[in-house]
């Protein structure tokens, strides 16, 4: 909370009730559930391929039982009732949100950002329990980022699998177009990625009614098909699922059952787009019954019609003739629903990228906020177009749908297993519950997730290596960015300075005829030639001073990293150009957790008392506001502060400030990172070579391509970038 404005600077979860909650629950249908809702298109053929023999009646009942109980235990109980309670305080979900819960970001101290003469503070000692957490930070970060990377890879395979499966239905009615399925799928995917720029909220208005009708069609056809064999309700007996694996000894069937769970991670990953209440309501009361009825109906038709249905269980079990009106209605909505299903993971990918960017675990890509009420709804152009290209390549290369579903299942299973044990750690460390509670959660859910994950490992040679490769590439980028950015921020923190210990001001003495002296109105400014960083009060300050002049101008120094003191950019700038502008503003940006911030609330100003003309400013903007520092508004605020502090003698100062601030120069840092040499040890030459390659050849190039200022700075014509060698 900023004391000057009373403005809450911390983002919080969306909280709605009544009709607003009902409407938000309806919106979730078009963003979250179509992935798990379109699984009936391919699950039964994933268990029993069309090229294989017709399964027995007991095997079909056992397979449907495995599907029903998998959906009940994992998406319903695990995710909807348990995991959704583990989002961040900002309302975010997903694997990385669990890491943020264990190691929360330091709360932004806007006062510290405006404190230019403050000193460092001692850190509080940590308990033994916290020490163990610190030791586990990097292993947990590795696993959380791996789960996040695979969820992003899932954002590639969901559109590929869903759309291709739906388009495949046209081959049932029109076998002549079977060779065109890939081309038709690509056309639909191009349309899907093109409309992402309109934002989650607008798309949900279109997609939610489509999903609503799709689930009604699943319910209706499921209920109708159950009448062919009502005995299918025996699938609610979990022993039927167990007996299936005991009887067949075919453990690989689980990799087909796993396809029924695709999209369950989207319930958690999309938490930042909605809230836990809306997701629970829509899943428990509408989505879950619809998909259970759909699988029961398909199982009943497969038992009743056998070989006639097996070539494509979903489309062959549609009531009525193949070319009948209901067939084409369902076909059209299947296409539309799979486009919506693809939306679920694309949206989740945007949300996850936003999280890792905000926590400095990914290059700062350009983000567009698309909602006036929910900060988590973003569109990231670069991510959208990269997803589009990779998805189209996947569809073109994986001509065999069976290999495509193999690749799909591995990513899903790995993320589910990752979430389970991270939640167990979260229960103990964050919720502070007894370890027995964490074990009570992990043992059952970890067991089931482990079964699916082990089954999916067998599919790595048959296509699952692709999401594994994509995930490893993304993981490598994120780990490199976390490590290198952490070293750069550490360098920035160590080189911040107390303004009092860097700049001196001294009034000129005039000697009178009688030998006495008086102070004149003129002030001489000096800077220290050398400094080792931020200096505390009781340290001896270097007396090696250099005189500098003040020039009638205004400069805005942008503080990228938060914290007390003068940024290294300023000290580097003054030593290169030994002069001080008359008005020096150190500007830090705070994105408030609301769409718009009124102009009168945008600037919080702190005046430095010990050196004239220096101001610390916090610039508040809403997440949908454009970065636009209006120098006139800012100077008005500064002049108000001057008048308040010196009502009688501020008129001349205010006139001078307004005169020199007619135009302002923006000064931004540019760190030229250099890897420091690690000495000692037999392997130090190899370590230094690898370190220099990662920091200087990879990270430096990425940081140049994706600067932190890209999301908010003004026109490049108005910016001076001060280069500083950062040995990290």
Q: Which residue ranges form the domains of the chain, and what is each CATH number?
A: 18-104+142-483 (1.20.1740.10), 495-727 (no CATH)
Segment of 41-50, 175-184, 700-709 carrying the highest mean pLDDT: 41-50
**Distance of alpha carbon 525 from the chain centroid:** 47
Query: What is the rounded distance in angstroms from the CA atom of residue 92 to the CA atom of residue 84?
Result: 10
Segment of 61-65, 501-505, 543-547 carrying the highest mean pLDDT: 61-65
The strand pair at 719-727 and 579-592 is best described as unpaired
Q: Nearest CA to 45 among 165, 151, 149, 153?
A: 165
Query: What is the rounded distance in angstroms from the CA atom of residue 300 to the CA atom of residue 297?
Result: 5
> Do residues 211 and 34 make contact, with C-beta atoms less than 8 angstroms apart?
yes
Query: What is the rounded distance in angstroms from the CA atom of residue 261 to the CA atom of residue 270?
Result: 16
**Which of helix, strand or coil describes residue 438?**
helix
Encoded tokens for 294: 């759909």
Q: Nearest CA to 93 among 217, 214, 274?
A: 274
> Do residues 200 and 31 make contact, with C-beta atoms less than 8 angstroms apart?
yes
The strand pair at 545-558 and 665-674 is best described as parallel
Query: What is the rounded distance in angstroms from the CA atom of residue 146 to the CA atom of residue 482?
Result: 13
Query: What is the rounded distance in angstroms from the CA atom of residue 483 to the CA atom of residue 486?
Result: 5
> Do residues 407 and 238 make contact, with C-beta atoms less than 8 angstroms apart?
no
Q: Is the predicted pLDDT of residue 718 greater than 80, yes or no?
A: no
Encoded tokens for 694: 């990662």
Helix (H) or strand (E) holding 510: strand 503-511
The strand pair at 517-528 and 545-558 is best described as antiparallel
Helix (H) or strand (E) holding 726: strand 719-727
Q: Is the predicted pLDDT of residue 622 greater than 60, yes or no?
A: yes
Helix (H) or strand (E) holding 215: helix 200-226
Q: What is the DSSP letter of 375?
A: T
pLDDT for 492-543, tens place per residue? Answer: 878 888 887 778 777 655 444 555 444 444 566 667 765 444 343 444 444 5
Query: What is the rounded distance in angstroms from the CA atom of residue 722 to the CA atom of residue 381?
Result: 29
Record the pTM: 0.77
The pLDDT value recorded for residue 123 is 45
Q: Is the predicted pLDDT of residue 364 greater than 90, yes or no?
A: no
Strands, E, within 189-239: which ranges? none
Query: What is the rounded distance in angstroms from the CA atom of residue 93 to the CA atom of residue 276?
Result: 10
Q: Is the predicted pLDDT of residue 120 greater than 70, yes or no?
A: no
The pLDDT value recorded for residue 580 is 87
Write down the H helix ranges in 286-400.
Answer: 288-305, 313-316, 325-358, 381-397
Encoded tokens for 493: 């923190």
Q: Nearest CA to 4 among 475, 600, 681?
A: 600
Query: What is the rounded distance in angstroms from the CA atom of residue 165 to the CA atom of residue 395?
Result: 11
Residue 122's pLDDT band, with cuts at 50, 70 and 90, is: very low
């Amino acid at each position: 909370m900023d004391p000057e404005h009373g403005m809450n600077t911390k983002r919080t979860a969306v909280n709605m009730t009544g009709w607003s909650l009902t409407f938000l629950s309806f919106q979730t249908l078009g963003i979250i559930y179509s992935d798990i809702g379109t699984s009936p298109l391919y699950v039964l053929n994933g268990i029993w391929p069309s090229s294989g023999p017709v399964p027995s009646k007991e095997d079909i009942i056992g397979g449907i039982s495995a599907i029903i109980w998998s959906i009940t235990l994992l998406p319903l109980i695990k995710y909807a009732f348990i995991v959704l309670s583990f989002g961040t305080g900002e309302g975010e979900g997903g694997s990385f949100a669990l890491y943020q819960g264990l190691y929360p970001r330091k709360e932004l101290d806007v006062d510290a950002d405006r404190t230019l003469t403050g000193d460092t503070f001692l850190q509080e000692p940590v308990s033994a329990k916290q020490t163990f957490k610190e030791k586990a930070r990097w292993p947990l970060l590795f696993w959380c980022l791996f789960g996040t990377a695979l969820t992003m890879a899932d954002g590639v395979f969901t559109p590929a699998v869903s759309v291709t499966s739906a388009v495949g239905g046209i081959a049932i009615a029109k076998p002549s177009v079977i060779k065109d399925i890939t081309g038709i799928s690509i056309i639909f995917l191009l349309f899907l990625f093109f409309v992402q720029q309109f934002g989650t909220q607008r798309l949900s208005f279109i997609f939610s009614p489509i999903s609503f009708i799709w689930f009604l069609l699943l319910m209706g056809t499921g209920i109708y098909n159950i009448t062919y064999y009502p005995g299918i309700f025996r699938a609610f007996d979990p022993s039927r699922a167990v007996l299936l694996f005991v009887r067949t000894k075919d453990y690989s069937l689980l990799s087909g059952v796993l396809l029924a769970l695709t999209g369950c991670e989207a319930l958690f990953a999309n938490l930042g787009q909605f809230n836990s209440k809306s997701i629970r309501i829509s899943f428990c009361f509408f989505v879950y019954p619809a998909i259970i009825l759909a699988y029961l109906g398909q199982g009943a038709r497969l038992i009743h019609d056998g070989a006639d249905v097996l070539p494509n269980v979903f489309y062959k079990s549609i009531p009525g003739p193949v070319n009948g009106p209901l067939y084409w209605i369902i076909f059209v909505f299947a296409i539309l629903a799979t486009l919506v299903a693809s939306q679920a993971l694309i949206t989740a990918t945007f949300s996850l990228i936003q999280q890792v960017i905000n926590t400095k675990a990914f290059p700062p890509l350009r983000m567009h906020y698309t909602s006036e009420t929910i900060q988590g709804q973003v569109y990231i152009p670069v991510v959208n177009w990269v997803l589009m290209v990779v998805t189209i390549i996947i569809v073109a290369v994986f001509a065999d749908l069976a290999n495509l579903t193999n690749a799909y299942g591995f990513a899903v299973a790995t993320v589910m297993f990752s979430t389970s044990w991270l939640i167990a750690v979260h229960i103990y460390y964050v919720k502070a519950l007894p370890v027995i509670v964490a074990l009570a959660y992990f043992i059952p859910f970890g067991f089931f997730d482990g079964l699916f994950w082990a089954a999916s490992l067998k599919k790595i040679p048959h296509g699952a290596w692709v999401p594994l490769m994509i995930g490893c590439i993304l993981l490598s980028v994120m780990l490199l960015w976390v490590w290198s950015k952490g070293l750069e921020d550490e360098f920035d923190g160590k080189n911040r300075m107390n303004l009092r210990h860097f700049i001196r001001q001294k009034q000129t003495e005039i000697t009178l005829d009688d030998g006495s002296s008086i102070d004149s109105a003129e002030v001489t400014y000096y800077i220290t030639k050398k400094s080792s960083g931020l200096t505390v009060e009781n340290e001896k300050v270097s007396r090696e001073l250099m005189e500098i002049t003040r020039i009638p101008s205004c400069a805005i120094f942008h503080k990228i990293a938060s914290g007390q003191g003068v940024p290294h950019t300023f000290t580097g700038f003054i030593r290169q150009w030994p002069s001080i502008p008359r008005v020096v503003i150190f500007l830090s940006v705070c994105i408030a957790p609301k769409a718009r911030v009124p102009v009168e609330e945008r600037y919080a100003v702190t005046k430095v008392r010990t050196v004239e003309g220096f101001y610390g400013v916090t610039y508040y903007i809403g997440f949908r506001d454009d970065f636009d520092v209006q120098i006139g508004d800012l100077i008005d605020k500064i002049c108000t502060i001057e008048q308040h502090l010196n009502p009688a003698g501020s008129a001349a100062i205010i006139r001078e400030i307004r005169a020199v601030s007619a135009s302002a120069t923006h000064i931004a840092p540019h760190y030229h990172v250099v890897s420091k040499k690690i000495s000692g040890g037999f392997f130090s030459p190899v370590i230094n070579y690898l370190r220099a390659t990662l920091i200087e050849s990879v990270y430096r190039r990425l940081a140049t391509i994706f600067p932190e200022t890209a999301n908010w700075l003004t026109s490049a014509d108005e910016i001076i970038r001060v280069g500083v060698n950062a040995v990290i």
